[in-house]
Amino acid sequence: MSLQPLGALARNPRIERSQHLLVPIILVFLLLLVAALRGPRLFTSDGIGGAIIVAAPLILAALALTPIALAGRGGVDLSVGPLLGFINVSLVKWLVENGVTSPVLVVGYVVAAGVIYQVLMAAIIIYVRVAPIIVTLSGYLVLTGVNLVVMDRPSGFAPDWMQDWGYGTAILSPIFYILVGMIVLWFAFSRTAFYQQILLTGADERMAFANGVNTVAARFGAHIVAGIFTGVAALTYTALIASGDPTQGNTYTLAAVTALVLGGTSLAGGSGGGLGSILGAISIYLISYALSTYSFGNVSGYVTQLSTGGILILSLLVNSLMNKKGGRP
């Protein structure tokens, strides 16, 4: 078998294409237009500040899913929501209630907890050879129970230095700087050779391995990056609610996966990226915001789910048609 040079493999049009961004960009534009017509308060200082604090955990959770999905094998972490919740409740219950509130220790804990969990998941997937969806679904169920053991109901307080982060009254809040910093970190990471190896692994694992890519390291690296972003997402979530909550974190799984798919990242691997995930998460927030300007009474939550699902299906159909038109599989 003749081996392609690694650079040639990296120029695979399946990886290079940015066509997947077309749908999320159009969707965000249309939703911003609806928001401007229905709820112009969003575009005030208070509105933007509130949007940042609410959307930040979802944006970071969607970015956490992205490297795992890009690495292929149909990998998508269904446990991202309960993991976010676990970091939240354990931070409040184990650290804050025992007087451990140093910013360095808190940030170190949330990142370490996310990374350790993701390394464990990666080891099971890679070495035990269990399908990622089974491993992460099991993780979802286990963490859902563990969270309720750690904290049986919403309670506790965030660290004192974080108490005013969730007010959302100013654009340039600590959450804003954290979000910008993590997005910059993502785009710096996406320029590295290691990121290209993750893409190559997801696009064609056998060919990547044959061309010298350490596919095992690529998968572990994808999970480590996911753990870092999940930990920081949990930090911003804790700032948002200013306490611990063992159940609400679970809702981020469906929202983050939806944002990932809306952003055009292929669950088959090798195609997509962080910008699409960010746009997808912003779309989810804007859908909720736009629908909140209408009065649906007791069924408002169901209308939001129905609308999000409908837009997701429509975007998948459009992406599928665009792929077929471009002659892609």
CA dihedral angle for residue 151, residue 92, residue 243, residue 168, rounded to 10 degrees: -150
The pLDDT of residue 62 is 96
User: Looking at residue 79, what DSSP letter applies?
Assistant: T
- Rounded CA-CA distance 108/97 in Å is 17
Domains of the chain (ranges; CATH) run 6-325 (1.10.3470)
Distances in Å between the Cα of 241 and the Cα atoms of 114, 192, 292, 319 are 19, 35, 20, 36
- pLDDT per residue, tens digit, the chain (329 aa), is 334 444 444 444 444 456 778 888 988 999 999 999 988 899 998 899 999 999 999 999 999 999 999 998 777 899 999 999 999 999 999 999 999 999 999 999 999 999 999 999 999 999 998 889 999 999 999 999 999 999 999 999 999 999 888 787 788 899 999 999 999 999 999 999 999 999 999 888 888 888 888 989 999 999 999 999 999 999 999 999 999 999 998 989 988 998 998 888 888 888 889 999 999 999 999 988 888 887 765 566 677 777 777 777 777 676 666 555 554 44
Residue pair 201/219 in contact by the 8 Å Cβ criterion? yes
Residue 63: predicted pLDDT: 96
**H-only helix segments in 204-247:** 205-210, 215-241
Phi, psi at 185, each rounded to 5°: -60, -40
Which of 7, 27, 11 is closest to 287 using CA atoms? Answer: 27
The whole-model pTM stands at 0.89
Residue 221: closest CA among 190, 182, 181, 178: 190
pLDDT at site 13? 40
| Interior/surface letters 46-76, b for 16+ CB within 10 angstroms, e for the rest | ebebbbbbbbbbbbbbbbbbbbbbbbbbebb
Q: How far apart are CA 48 and CA 67, in angstroms?
A: 28
**121, 123, 125, 127 alpha-carbon torsion, rounded to 10°:** -160
The predicted pLDDT at position 320 comes to: 64
**Cα separation, 44 vs 149, whole angstroms:** 41
Query: 103-123 and 80-90 helices cross at what angle (nearest 10)?
Result: 150
